[in-house]
Chains A and B, each alone.
Chain A
Amino acid sequence: MTEEKIFSGQEERILSEIKGNKNIAGLHGPKNRAFALLKRVQGQKPVIDIERGLYFTRSFKETEGQPMILRWAKALKYYAEQATVYIDDDQLIAGRIGRSGRYGILYPELDGDIMGDAIGQLPDRETSPFDIDGNDARLIAEEIAPYWKGKTFHEDLIKALTPKTAALTYNNDKDFSSRFIVNETASFRSSIQWVHDYEIVLQQGFFGIRTEMGEKLRQLDPFSPIDQTEKKPFIEAVIIVCDAITLWARRHAELADEKALQENDLSRRTELKNIAEICRRVPEYPARNFREAVQSQWFTQLFSRVEQKTGTVISNGRMDQYLYPFYEKDIKEGLITDNDVQEIFDCEWVAMSQYIDLYISSAGGAFNEGYAHWEAVTVGGQTPDGQDAVNDLTYVLLKSKREFPLNYPDLAARVHTRSTQQYLAEVAETIKEGSGFPKLINDEEVIPLLLAKGADFAEAYDYSVSGCAECRMPNRDTYTSPNAYINFAAALEMTIYNGRMAKYGSELIGIETGEIDTFISFDEFFAAYLQQQKNFLKHAFIQQHEIIRLRANHFASPLGSALHKLCRSSLVDIHQPHIDGGIDLGYFEFIGYATVIDSLAAIKKIVFEDRKATLAQIKEAMTKNFAGYDILRQRLLNAPKYGNNDSYADELGKRLDKEALLFTRKYSAELGVNLDLRYVPFTSHVPFGKVVGATPNGRLAWTPLSDGSSASQGADTYGPTAVLLSNFATKNYQYHERAARLLNVKLSPACVRGEKGTKKLVDFIEAWRDLKLWHIQFNVINQETLIAAQKNPENYRNLLVRIAGYSAYFTDLSIDLQNDIIARTQNEAI
């Protein structure tokens, strides 16, 4: 009897494939349809489909001078009339917005100015490459890009920023590429993550919304200049969009009819006829059964992507809640079984996975490596009246996630103090499968914060997970401006180099807080750092002010507004800065949290307590990237570190958090929004690290920063409980200006083995919940698997790993990010 290696479900599947077992689909029972669909698209290099960009451009050329919301609605209508519609062979769900395989679409209103040049580089880009057809490339260069030159939001923003703010935001090159210091994310997406009120579509259909708008139109004051110039275009735009999506759905019905005529296989012919019937009914009218409800939501979600580039793609909301009445009715009447429901979901997931969130700018690509789009689906949590919301459909969704190995949707499970043991165990079993799902969001942290921001209980209980780790209250949230990602490791560098950075030499980018050898105590050094931190925040907030102001002229969302109660009642587009009755929840991002804490702790310990080195020596070692300074580097690496439940480091972390909170407490009201402190990097800690030289925690130059609120790579040596406790200890619970903290925990499959392992994972999750931490996600994988996948990528094309609020195929990631994931501390069972 010797110790055997324990593998996760995902690892076993891949190893079995490597051994030549082709019949993987058979392992999962009656799921051949979805597996067959998946096989056709998996691992294909994405291609660019230009239809959306082309039709939007052509429509915009015709509508110059009109109100933005009308222009947007007309472009959508034009798209609905012109664009190719698709129903894939064997698919049960109709609709795609790009060519077969994996595809990305264009949003030239965002990046048309750089699109012409960038498009040529996409096939060879290191992070998230794309292919493009030669003729399409020509259309982009000759027709699309030239029109947008001088008209994009990006260009306006650059002009609006003062030199000091701009120097922290952009490089001084022709594309104004990101400098990754105080990084704006508003010009590579037109909105932050968002979730619609899908329920109104399922219950009333777009016909219902159209009817409501018709009534509003009649009620307008014919003599009021506001009514006639602002409200009237809003109403007209919503009506156009209701017509557009209806028309678009009907074109799918026609296609299904045509295909049915040509189809020889009887059962497929029946399926196609059924699809035709569904597409004629929804989303125009209320859904009558589960199939119609799923198709209606999918059309709505898909058409949203055509409307605009929402950060992390429009989320799917609480699927187990709004679909439940249809599911319950169909099950009761014997119309469907759980297997049918699972098959329909699996089909939808494949359709989701074919869409690729294309970022033209290299900053966008680097932020969202592995072609990340989240497609968040929320399960569990509480009902608006505060009861446990888990139902049978919740379990079907979890089961689908366990059995169908795909990175979409991004399943998020809400957890609260009365979550049942069965729910928690099934969540744990799903995590154990090893592909990183679901991520967990904590009602006990999120709901009190939403209440503190002014929400009603019913709205707060009914929040949806949206995007990466964020939460939205459909019909109450009204803030859409993308926010700043701030590289505070650069602020630390500037404290050492008196306002300068290793990468940019003598250029004064920050503020001068004193030459390094003038600090005679740690408190002085720390005070200087806090000045640099505050200066970054100042410019981030200035940037945000301009972003909010300018976006209103550049973006409109008639569909998004149609699906928001407050927009329909005030007749104001969701992208306008103020909407009556709304709660504006934005954020700013602390990147490199552990990197900064660990650097400060190392300086405090090694310089001012142990007196083993001077600040000047540390600076010298940093400029040499520690070459010839091995002894000093080891001392710095072995100083106290965040993530070990060590108050030495954690107290510094708490202070950083508090200073940032106090800043936003004082100034975010001037912006008219709640800008909350957040620790969610996506994959940006990698590009942010690439501009930061060696740091006093012993980190080498240009390597990734710490991610989210996790410890520095490999610095957490006291196990996952200490990581959670450090997180808890560094939070300032007395203030409400906080949002998500993203937390990665990597466990070896042996830690969670068997029924006992499930129970202990549940115990761990319950402790996480009681600590009121916002988010947690797990990678259950053996270190050897990651290393093998890096060495032999061809065998591991379908290996999913958890990155930062989402999962992606490991082999789709850049080498830097792969190494970063390997370097995360693995927690072995003791």
Chain B
Amino acid sequence: MIFNIQQYSLHDGPGIRTIVFMKGCPLRCRWCCNPESQKTKPEISYDANKCLGKKICNECEKICDAGAIEFSDLHKAVIQRDKCSSCMKCVHECPAKAYKAEGHQYSIKEVLDIVEKDSIFYRHGNGGLTVSGGEPLMQGEFLIQLLRQAKKRRLTTAIETCGYADYPILKQAAKYLDAILFDIKSLDEQQHIAYTGKTNRKILQNFDNLCRDFPKLPKYARTPVIPGFNDSPDDLLAIKNYLANKPETVYEQLPYHRFGVAKYNALGRRYMMDE
């Protein structure tokens, strides 16, 4: 299950890359900028700015068998998520493409054919495929096959992971990787649980194992710096100390941004950082 394939990605590994975003994530980070990546099942997002409004168009209402679409006082659609069966008819019918299906099934060949379209941009600067998410390791078997086939096509590969997965899957995947982008969000377990919903123990253990088993694999350890969560000097120092002697590890901090806020509205969810 994939929710997006993004060409011309510049900030997630070396060179010019194509990112395959896989759907489903074990964490629920409050600041997550890709809320559409969290659930494993396909869902529908709705962009009120694109919608023509009921006064002009109600094609979605007409086509919806479940009666899940109502209109607000501003004549914009409101999806009744409890009634919606995710049949995607509104997505196909909407003339303005205000509805979007988040999540599609792809075969490995389909994914790689799309990725390979940009191959001329990978040649210089060591660009290639980055699998991100969601959490790519959550769809372990698909991921491992995808990476294996990618190597067969001589694409350079990377994944972007939160690190929360069973180690055997990570280990299998790492065999087909040229680089890994690995989030180290906080060393404070309680904070980690409070802000992401999961402990960091498994994550740190995985990173230790990875360093032991793949010392030569280039690793980009990354911390999204989130106000109130891990932005104190002590928090960040602790992470730096933890990473100090890790092999082939580059450390980056990523600034907090709010680009994802609109997506919460589109999915009918609340943005937890504002609560």
- List A residues at the B interface (Cβ < 8 Å): 1-4, 612, 630-632, 634-635, 638, 645, 718-722, 725, 751, 757, 759-760, 762-764, 766-767, 770-771, 827, 829-830
Residue among B6, B7, B12, B227 having the largest count of chain A Cβ atoms under 10 Å: B7
- What separation, in Å, do the CA atoms of A722 and B114 have in the docked complex? 11
Residues of B within 8 A of A4 (CB): 255
Given contacts A1-B256, A725-B118, A763-B121, A830 and B9 within 8 Å (CB-CB): yes
Please determine whether A721 and B95 come into contact, CB atoms closer than 8 angstroms: no
- What separation, in Å, do the CA atoms of A383 and B19 have in the docked complex? 41
Please determine whether B57 and A767 come into contact, CB atoms closer than 8 angstroms: no
Residues of B within 8 A of A2 (CB): 227, 255-257
Given contacts A1-B255, A725-B117, A827-B8, A764 and B16 within 8 Å (CB-CB): yes
Residues of A within 8 A of B127 (CB): 763
- What separation, in Å, do the CA atoms of A763 and B16 have in the docked complex? 7
Q: Is the interface of B mostly helix, strand, loop or mixed?
A: loop
A sample of 27 inter-chain contacts (CB < 8 A) reads: A1-B231, A1-B255, A1-B256, A2-B256, A3-B257, A630-B56, A630-B57, A631-B52, A631-B56, A634-B97, A635-B95, A638-B95, A721-B8, A721-B16, A722-B8, A757-B10, A759-B125, A760-B125, A763-B16, A766-B124, A767-B16, A767-B123, A770-B123, A771-B120, A827-B8, A830-B8, A830-B11
- What separation, in Å, do the CA atoms of A612 and B96 have in the docked complex? 13
Please determine whether B124 and A762 come into contact, CB atoms closer than 8 angstroms: yes
Q: Is the interface of A mostly helix, strand, loop or mixed?
A: helix
- What separation, in Å, do the CA atoms of A635 and B96 have in the docked complex? 6
Contact partner of B124 (CB less than 8 A), chosen from A632, A719, A763, is A763
Given contacts A3-B257, A763-B16, A719 and B8 within 8 Å (CB-CB): yes
* Closest Cβ neighbor of B256 among chain A residues: A2
**Contact of B27 with A by CB under 8 A:** no
- Mask, B57-80, CB within 8 Å of A = 1, is 101000000000000000000000
| Min CB gap A1→B, angstroms | 4
**Contact of B15 with A by CB under 8 A:** yes
* Closest Cβ neighbor of A752 among chain B residues: B10
Please determine whether B16 and A760 come into contact, CB atoms closer than 8 angstroms: yes
- What separation, in Å, do the CA atoms of A771 and B121 have in the docked complex? 10
Given A631-B59, A764-B121, A830-B10, 12 other A-B residues pairs in contact with their CB atoms under 8 A: A1-B231, A630-B57, A635-B95, A719-B8, A721-B7, A759-B125, A760-B16, A763-B15, A763-B121, A763-B127, A766-B125, A767-B16
Please determine whether A630 and B19 come into contact, CB atoms closer than 8 angstroms: no
Please determine whether A830 and B95 come into contact, CB atoms closer than 8 angstroms: no
Which residues 102-156 in B have Cβ within 8 Å of A in the complex?
117-118, 120-121, 123-125, 127
| Min CB gap A185→B, angstroms | 35
Contact partner of B15 (CB less than 8 A), chosen from A634, A757, A760, is A760
| Min CB gap B250→A, angstroms | 12
| Min CB gap B273→A, angstroms | 12
| Min CB gap B113→A, angstroms | 12
Residues of B within 8 A of A827 (CB): 8
**Contact of B88 with A by CB under 8 A:** no
- What separation, in Å, do the CA atoms of A757 and B120 have in the docked complex? 18
* Closest Cβ neighbor of B16 among chain A residues: A763
Given contacts A630-B57, A770-B120, A638 and B10 within 8 Å (CB-CB): no
Please determine whether B125 and A830 come into contact, CB atoms closer than 8 angstroms: no
**Contact of B253 with A by CB under 8 A:** yes
- What separation, in Å, do the CA atoms of A630 and B15 have in the docked complex? 42
Given contacts A634-B95, A757-B10, A830-B19, A767 and B120 within 8 Å (CB-CB): yes
Please determine whether A638 and B253 come into contact, CB atoms closer than 8 angstroms: no
* Closest Cβ neighbor of B52 among chain A residues: A630
Please determine whether B123 and A645 come into contact, CB atoms closer than 8 angstroms: no
- What separation, in Å, do the CA atoms of A630 and B96 have in the docked complex? 9
Please determine whether A722 and B124 come into contact, CB atoms closer than 8 angstroms: no
- What separation, in Å, do the CA atoms of A780 and B127 have in the docked complex? 22
Residues of A within 8 A of B267 (CB): none
Residues of B within 8 A of A630 (CB): 52, 56-57
- What separation, in Å, do the CA atoms of A631 and B10 have in the docked complex? 37
* Closest Cβ neighbor of A638 among chain B residues: B97
**Contact of B262 with A by CB under 8 A:** no
Given contacts A635-B95, A830-B19, A1 and B253 within 8 Å (CB-CB): yes
* Closest Cβ neighbor of A763 among chain B residues: B125
Residues of B within 8 A of A635 (CB): 95
Please determine whether B96 and A634 come into contact, CB atoms closer than 8 angstroms: yes
Please determine whether A762 and B255 come into contact, CB atoms closer than 8 angstroms: no
| Min CB gap B45→A, angstroms | 16
Please determine whether A631 and B97 come into contact, CB atoms closer than 8 angstroms: no
- What separation, in Å, do the CA atoms of A286 and B225 have in the docked complex? 65
| Min CB gap B160→A, angstroms | 12
Which residues 1-38 in B have Cβ within 8 Å of A in the complex?
6-12, 15-16, 19
Residues of A within 8 A of B59 (CB): 631
Given contacts A719-B8, A771-B120, A830-B9, A631 and B125 within 8 Å (CB-CB): no
| Min CB gap A267→B, angstroms | 49
Please determine whether B125 and A634 come into contact, CB atoms closer than 8 angstroms: no
Please determine whether B117 and A830 come into contact, CB atoms closer than 8 angstroms: no
- What separation, in Å, do the CA atoms of A4 and B257 have in the docked complex? 9
* Closest Cβ neighbor of A424 among chain B residues: B124
Please determine whether B124 and A645 come into contact, CB atoms closer than 8 angstroms: no
| Min CB gap B54→A, angstroms | 12
* Closest Cβ neighbor of A612 among chain B residues: B95
Give me the 4 closest cross-chain CB pairs, A-B, nearest first: A763-B125, A719-B8, A634-B95, A3-B257
- What separation, in Å, do the CA atoms of A762 and B126 have in the docked complex? 12
Residues of B within 8 A of A1 (CB): 225, 231, 253, 255-256
Contact partner of A719 (CB less than 8 A), chosen from B7, B11, B231, is B7
Please determine whether A829 and B253 come into contact, CB atoms closer than 8 angstroms: no
| Min CB gap A499→B, angstroms | 31
Residue among B121, B127, B227 having the largest count of chain A Cβ atoms under 10 Å: B121
Residues of A within 8 A of B117 (CB): 645, 725
Residues of B within 8 A of A766 (CB): 123-125
- What separation, in Å, do the CA atoms of A612 and B253 have in the docked complex? 50
Residue among A1, A638, A720, A751 having the largest count of chain B Cβ atoms under 10 Å: A1
- What separation, in Å, do the CA atoms of A338 and B253 have in the docked complex? 40
- What separation, in Å, do the CA atoms of A631 and B53 have in the docked complex? 10
- What separation, in Å, do the CA atoms of A611 and B54 have in the docked complex? 23
* Closest Cβ neighbor of B51 among chain A residues: A634
Residues of A within 8 A of B255 (CB): 1-4
| Min CB gap B95→A, angstroms | 4
